[in-house]
């Protein structure tokens, strides 16, 4: 989780990712962030997020994104 | 001869009044409705005494915005679209340049308007669209109109920190739309999926051919560009056959593996531009859609829209650049070297554009207009205006024009044109900042800010978000102890770039 928070905080140092769970609805992250996140998650966790998992529910909070990473790691 | 863009609409209305012109997921306007609504708004504005004035359109992206645009033109005014997501600070800067007297909003943006320092009139779209059309007033406007009258102003990044308002006229838009339509092979069957925001000239590609041909444009919500599977499904649901998108919107789909899962079924024409298309991503698209026509478009806002095109018909290898090709008919391109002479074959020069597609210049800004809209240096006999783009290009051995780089610190990021100097100007305004330098990493497609000063990184990000449009806020910010300098005492951008590339 800490590694993921570090990636997110580098993208948006002004956001508290520990508490925010409306990243998509409140337009805190945009399409550029999604692409950056997927590429950085790939190099940090060695997890490729498949296209069908790129949905708002998985990107709305750091926790949701972390759950996705864990799930994908297990499936691997 | 056509002298007014509204003639497109007036001819189409006779053929396909009940067809959908503009739509989003839930609402749509037929050509008849676009016609009626824009004439109602035109009547209202004229009756209220507004003509030959900038009319600010501050509304959420919706088919009604387009009726507000045309309504503005019906009254002989020019529209100035302002984005609801634009920070107040920037809107204030734009208003200082514009001195607007009249603004059209919708129910959702109405509250925001109250926070502006703007003192002029505010009208609600839903109310003024109820005005009863008065044919006489509208024909009075039309009788006086000439084709060099302005239609709109769009604001683009300025290196001093103040945005520049580019003024386009009927003539430039008609010239552009006619030639663009020919190049893209547009017709009544065209169904556009619009990506560009309505506050940029990029949306002209859909708005005007739609009324010219009686085509249809679907406005795709911005949020769909974050979730690419939904985006492709949207294209298929509405049988969209033509898209004119920024490269980053296309590469998002291909790089995330979406095309293996769901394929756009109806796309016949894909026009792309504003950035270089990485060949690897381009090949993915080409493979999935071998029958589709791919067209690279190039052009500055100052020449109304696009000035050059290239239909991709041969294979490209990784590392090659897709050319920007050749100018549209009735547009001329010159490549000038630093001595203002035409370059020799194969040499790099500044891309300069001539033709009636040139816009009128920057609004209330003769100084910056004169810097780039200049006399053709090859002509000393009569006035002939050209626009100096600041882009460097050269011709390849096939005679195709290639974009090489910029002359200055302007960059393209997510399809937006950004002056790094504008970001720095905003940082330097903050108290406790000693130095700042913005660089751009093409490899990572990131804007990077280094600064020396007392402000914390998080606060810096928050402040910049409040002052700059979203796409201009740096993607990486770092506070440093000391600004590296070159032997001449200038900020050392190369050293900063190395610092960024070498960080863990």
| DSSP string of B316-358, one letter each residue | --TT-----BEEPTTEEEEEE-TTS-BPPTT--EEEEEEETTS
What is the reported pLDDT for B112? Answer: 93
| Residue A24 in contact with partner chain B when CB distance is under 8 A | yes
Q: Which of B249, B256, B470 is facing A51, going by the closest CB pair?
A: B256
Summarize pLDDT for B266-325 with one digit per residue, the tens: 999 999 987 889 999 999 999 999 999 999 999 999 999 999 999 999 999 988 899 999
Question: B165-175 burial, b if ≥16 CB within 10 A, otherwise e?
Answer: bbbbbbbbbbb
Chain A residues with CB under 8 Å of B477 CB are 13
Chain B residues with CB under 8 Å of A51 CB are 228-229, 256-258, 260-262
By CA distance, what is B258's nearest residue in A?
Answer: A51
What is the reported pLDDT for B240? Answer: 98
By CA distance, what is A42's nearest residue in B?
Answer: B256
In angstroms, the CA B33 to CA B19 distance is 10
Chain A residues with CB under 8 Å of B232 CB are none
What is the distance of C-alpha B240 from the center of its chain? 21
By CA distance, what is B233's nearest residue in A?
Answer: A52
What is the reported pLDDT for B503? Answer: 82
Nearest chain B Cα distance for residue A21, angstroms: 17
What is the reported pLDDT for B504? Answer: 63
* ipTM above threshold 0.95: no
Contact A29 B226 (CB under 8 A): yes
Summarize pLDDT for B382-435 with one digit per residue, the tens: 999 999 999 999 999 999 999 999 999 899 998 899 999 999 999 998 999 999
Nearest chain B Cα distance for residue A45, angstroms: 15
In angstroms, the CA B60 to CA B65 distance is 8
pTM of the model: 0.94
Chain A residues with CB under 8 Å of B256 CB are 35, 38, 49, 51, 54
What is the reported pLDDT for B319? Answer: 83
3-class secondary structure per residue, B10-73: HHHHHHCCCCEEEECCCCEEEHHHHHHHHHHHHHHHHHCCCCCCEEEEECCCCHHHHHHHHHHH
| Residue A1 in contact with partner chain B when CB distance is under 8 A | no
Q: How confident is the model at residue A75 (pLDDT cuts 50, 70, 90)?
A: confident
Q: Which of A14, A34, A55 is facing B458, going by the closest CB pair?
A: A14
Mutate to test the interface with A, among B83, B197, B227, B415 (most CBs of A within 10 A): B227
| Residue A36 in contact with partner chain B when CB distance is under 8 A | yes
What is the reported pLDDT for B16? Answer: 98
What is the reported pLDDT for B426? Answer: 92
Summarize pLDDT for A31-44 with one digit per residue, the tens: 999 999 999 999 99
Q: Which of B230, B261, B470 is facing A30, going by the closest CB pair?
A: B470
Q: Which of B256, B446, B465 is facing A54, going by the closest CB pair?
A: B256
What is the reported pLDDT for B177? Answer: 98
By CA distance, what is B448's nearest residue in A?
Answer: A11
Give the three-class secondary structure for B199.
coil
Write out residues in chain B with pLDDT < 70, as ranges.
504
| Residue A12 in contact with partner chain B when CB distance is under 8 A | yes
What is the reported pLDDT for B444? Answer: 86
Chain B residues with CB under 8 Å of A54 CB are 226-229, 256
Nearest chain B Cα distance for residue A62, angstroms: 16
Chain A residues with CB under 8 Å of B258 CB are 51
């Amino acid at each position: 989780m800490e590694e993921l928070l570090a990636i997110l905080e580098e993208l948006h140092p002004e956001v508290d990712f520990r508490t925010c769970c409306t990243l998509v609805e409140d337009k805190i992250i945009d399409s550029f962030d999604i692409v950056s996140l997927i590429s950085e998650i790939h190099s940090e966790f060695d997890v490729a997020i498949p296209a069908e998992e790129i949905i708002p529910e998985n990107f709305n909070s750091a926790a949701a994104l972390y759950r996705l990473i864990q799930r994908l790691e297990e499936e691997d | 001869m056509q002298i007014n863009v509204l003639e497109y609409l007036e001819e189409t209305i006779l053929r396909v009044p009940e067809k959908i012109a503009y739509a989003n997921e839930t609402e749509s306007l037929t050509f008849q409705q676009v016609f009626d609504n824009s004439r109602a708004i035109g009547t209202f504005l004229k009756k209220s005494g507004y003509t030959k004035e900038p009319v600010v359109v501050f509304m959420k992206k919706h088919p009604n915005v387009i009726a507000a645009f045309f309504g503005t033109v019906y009254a002989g005014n020019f529209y100035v679209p302002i984005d609801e997501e634009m920070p107040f600070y920037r809107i204030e800067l734009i208003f200082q340049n514009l001195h607007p007297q009249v603004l059209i909003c919708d129910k959702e943006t109405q509250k925001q308007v109250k926070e502006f320092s703007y003192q002029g009139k505010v009208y609600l779209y839903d109310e003024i669209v109820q005005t009863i059309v008065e044919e006489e007033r509208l024909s009075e406007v039309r009788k006086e109109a000439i084709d060099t009258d302005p239609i709109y102003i769009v604001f683009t990044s300025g290196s001093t920190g103040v945005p520049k308002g580019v003024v386009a006229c009927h003539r430039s838009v008609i010239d552009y739309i006619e030639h663009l339509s020919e190049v893209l092979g547009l017709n009544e069957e065209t169904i556009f999926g619009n990506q560009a925001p309505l506050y940029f000239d990029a949306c002209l590609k859909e708005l005007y051919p739609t009324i010219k041909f009686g085509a249809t444009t679907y406005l795709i919500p911005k949020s769909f560009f974050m979730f690419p599977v939904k985006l492709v499904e949207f294209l298929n649901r509405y049988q969209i056959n033509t898209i004119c998108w920024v490269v980053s919107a296309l590469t998002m789909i291909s790089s995330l593996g979406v095309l293996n899962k769901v394929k756009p079924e109806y796309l016949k024409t894909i026009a792309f531009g504003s950035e270089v298309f990485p060949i690897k991503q381009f090949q993915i698209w080409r493979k999935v859609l071998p029958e589709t026509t791919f067209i690279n478009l190039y052009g500055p806002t100052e020449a109304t829209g696009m000035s050059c095109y290239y239909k991709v018909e041969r294979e490209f290898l990784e590392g090659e650049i897709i050319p920007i090709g050749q100018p549209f008919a009735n547009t001329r391109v010159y490549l000038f070297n630093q001595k203002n002479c035409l370059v020799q074959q194969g040499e790099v020069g500044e891309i300069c554009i001539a033709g009636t597609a040139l816009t009128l210049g920057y609004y209330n800004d003769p100084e910056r207009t004169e810097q780039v809209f200049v006399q053709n240096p090859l002509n000393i006999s009569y006035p002939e205006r050209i626009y100096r783009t600041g882009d460097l290009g050269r011709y390849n051995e096939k005679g195709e024009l290639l974009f090489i780089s910029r002359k200055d610190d302007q960059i393209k990021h997510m399809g937006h044109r950004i002056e790094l100097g504008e970001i720095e100007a905003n940082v330097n305004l903050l108290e406790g900042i000693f130095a700042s330098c913005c660089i751009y990493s093409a490899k990572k497609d990131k804007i990077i800010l280094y600064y020396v000063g007392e402000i914390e990184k998080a606060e810096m990000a928050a402040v910049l978000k409040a002052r700059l449009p979203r796409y201009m806020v740096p993607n990486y910010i770092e506070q440093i102890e000391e600004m590296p300098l070159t032997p001449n005492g200038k900020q050392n951008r190369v050293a900063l770039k190395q610092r960024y590339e070498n960080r863990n």
